Amino acid sequence: MIVTVGRRTEKRWGVLITCLTTRAVHLEIAASLTPSSAILALSLHGATRHADRDVPDNATNFTKANKELKEAALKWKSMQRQNE
């Protein structure tokens, strides 16, 4: 999808989130295909829809985002242990 920002045009991507039970569909707009953009789109979905559990497909941006989240959690846990 192409959007206009000021006088320039930029490309945006849609993150399609579907419910396997009710078949509800939700669309979030992502600024890029980076893992951080995927994390932001999923967190926005969780904040607006109060989603308890999401099961994404195995796309590379989700795989990389999962790796980054695990690394951040390990780093945070080690910082908590050092502060004790």
pTM for the predicted model, two decimal places: 0.50
Share of residues in the chain with pLDDT > 70 (%): 83
* Beta carbons of 62 and 56 less than 8 angstroms apart: yes
- pLDDT (average), residues 27-52: 80
What per-residue confidence (pLDDT) applies to 55?
Answer: 59
- pLDDT (average), residues 18-23: 76
- pLDDT (average), residues 41-58: 68
Name, of 16-20, 48-52, 61-65, 67-71, the range with top average pLDDT: 67-71
For residues 59 and 42, give the distance between their C-alpha atoms in angstroms, rounded to a whole number.
14
| Mean pLDDT over the full length of the chain | 81
Please give the tally of structural domains in the chain. 1
Q: Which structural domain range is residue 51 located in?
A: 2-83
